[in-house]
Chain A
């Protein structure tokens, strides 16, 4: 228990020290995107509405994204500086390791996403439509995406790999996941594809919970999908940790 807690705290502290890389960009980028869209789309809608709607989606997006980024970056740095030895040699079971990293990744996601969510509900009227559901959905988003971060971090051996995974796979998927255009308003076949994106499950439902409006899929489908993703990826990551994949020679 002590080792699990130390590892968790170590990772969370590293995230906090690197706030300039993760938490701050999340909030600033979200505000900028939302502002630009409110201005750019001013003809069709009320500015404040568009602004809050964009922010709410960004809250879920950054929560998921940084839940991946956190564990990935920290694992890759550890592997490159060989400080991964400190963790590999410590008396920690693979499941404790998994819990600590997933916990830290989720914490990183929440620390990035919650400030954005707060801005969104301040614009529409505190405390928002269903704040507790929104919080629960964001926690679930973190839990679903953090094991993915662990997997990418274990797999990546160079920064090129990290850049490829995020720039060429995750960001493009996220862009077409209801972040800017509601999934329901997308042309086919993008719309059907978007229903397969975990980002869309999270963004659409969290946004409805924060600022109201309708989501393009029932909330329980999103919950089940995210929970399944969390379990499957965690199990996979646990298998890799047990086998020592790319950690032990």
Chain B
């Protein structure tokens, strides 16, 4: 009897976790944050430098002679677009490179084995990607503000669009990296999806410059709404598509959440 009791007290019992495995989530999140924070030169400093270069070159090429878009000077028009573009690209980089490297080196099992639901995994990855996007965004805004006047017409919209945009790209990065079997595949996602959508989104020019028959194409591009709304948050004005933009981004994000959760719970290309 006593022996029985002794064995019971030393037998490990399953840990009580409640509805959400907070420890697991927090661990994944902090792993993902540390992953990019450790190499901040590559993940924060380099994108900021690149954005400034873009900005400088565009200023030289297109900014002179009082060019403006509507009644906004071209450089003030350009800055928010470049900032959200950099934020979005970094959010994509964060999830896609993490999962891709983990798959390649086999360390993905360390993420799949712990008792975590697909939701906890996805939120952990996405939250870190959003954080990287926001950090890069804040630093870029601070640096760009040295060169051009930054208005903050609607700070809440800036925050909302920044969040929706980085979340969208973070989710896309997860889906892309789960699908990709080699680095070439994820490079293809970057080159054939992310880059064209970014350039054709009105970052660098107002969408009215597109030929009449082509404007509808821009309106099919979720990146267009991301940049349009984010820019509106800075420079204000009344020619933006805020309501439609929020609806489109929320819908795209919802679709991507479903896709990513489905991929994670079925183990698509992750578990055999």
Partners in one complex: yes
Interface residues of A (CB under 8 A from B): 17-18, 20-21, 24-25, 28-29, 32-33, 35-37, 39-43, 160, 163-164, 167-168, 171-172, 175-176, 179-181, 186-187
Closest to B42 in A: A163
Residues of B near A168 (CB, < 8 A) are 46, 49
Q: B84 to nearest A CB, angstroms?
A: 16
Question: Shortest distance in angstroms between A216's beta carbon and chain B's nearest beta carbon?
Answer: 15
Shortest C-beta distance, A98 to chain B (Å), equals: 28
Known contacts A20-B188, A28-B192, A181-B57; 16 further A-B pairs (Cβ under 8 A):
A18-B184, A20-B184, A20-B185, A20-B191, A24-B191, A25-B190, A32-B196, A36-B199, A36-B203, A39-B209, A40-B209, A41-B61, A163-B42, A163-B46, A168-B49, A180-B61
A226 to B20, CA, bound (A): 63
Interface of A is mostly: helix
Asked if A180 and B205 sit within 8 Å, CB to CB, the answer is: no
**B62–A167 contact, CB under 8 A?**
no
B106 to chain A, nearest CB (A): 16
Give chain B residues whose Cβ lies under 8 Å from the Cβ of A181.
57, 60-61
Interface contact B41-A164, CB-CB below 8 Å: yes
Interface: B210 (CB within 8 A): yes
Also in contact, A37 and B61, with CB within 8 A (given A32-B195, A32-B196, A163-B42): yes
Distance in angstroms from A35 CB to nearest chain B CB is 7
Closest 6 CB pairs of A and B: A32-B199, A20-B184, A40-B205, A20-B187, A39-B205, A36-B204
Q: Please encode chain B, from 225 to 258, with 1 for each CB lying within 8 Å of some chain A CB and 0 for all others.
A: 0000000000000000000000000000000000
Q: Which of B42, B191, B210 contacts A28 (CB 8 A)?
A: B191
User: Which chain B residues border A18 with CB–CB below 8 Å?
Assistant: 184
On chain B, the residues within 8 Å of A160 by CB distance are 39, 41-42
B53 interfacial by beta-carbon distance below 8 Å = yes
- Chain B nearest CB from A95 CB (Å) reads 33
A24→B58 CA distance, assembly (Å): 24
Q: Is the CB of B49 within 8 A of A40?
A: no
10 contacts between A and B (CB under 8 A): A20-B188, A25-B190, A28-B196, A32-B195, A160-B39, A160-B41, A167-B42, A172-B53, A180-B57, A181-B61
CA distance A39 to B209 in the complex (A): 6
A192 shortest CB reach to chain B, Å: 15
Complex CA–CA separation, A189 to B53 (angstroms): 17
CA distance A167 to B45 in the complex (A): 10
* B219 at interface, CB cutoff 8 A: no
For residue A187, which residues in chain B have a CB less than 8 angstroms away from its CB?
60
A211 to chain B, nearest CB (A): 17
Measured CB to CB, the closest approach of chain A to B182, in angstroms, equals 9
Determine the chain A residues whose CB is within 8 A of the CB of B151 once the complex forms: none
Q: How far is the CA of A33 from the CA of B204 in the complex (A)?
A: 10
Give bound CA distance, A163 to B93, whole Å.
Answer: 15
Distance between B19 CB and nearest chain A CB, rounded to angstroms:
41
A35 near B191 with CB under 8 A, answer no
**Across the interface, do B191 and A25 meet the contact criterion of CB distance under 8 Å?**
yes
Complexed CA–CA distance, A243 and B49 (Å): 36
Q: Judge whether B199 and A35 touch: CB under 8 Å.
A: yes
Residues of A within 8 A of B196 (CB): 28, 32
Q: Which one of B50, B192, B200, B204 has the highest number of Cβ atoms from chain A below 10 Å of its Cβ?
A: B204
- Kindly list chain B residues whose C-beta atoms are within 8 Å of the C-beta of A37: 61-62, 204
Q: Is the CB of A43 within 8 A of B67?
A: yes
Given A167-B50, A186-B60, the answer on whether A39 and B191 have CB atoms closer than 8 Å is no
Please, which residues of chain A bring their CB within 8 A of the CB of B199? 32-33, 35-36
Q: Whole-angstrom distance between the alpha carbons of A18 and B105 in the complex?
A: 19
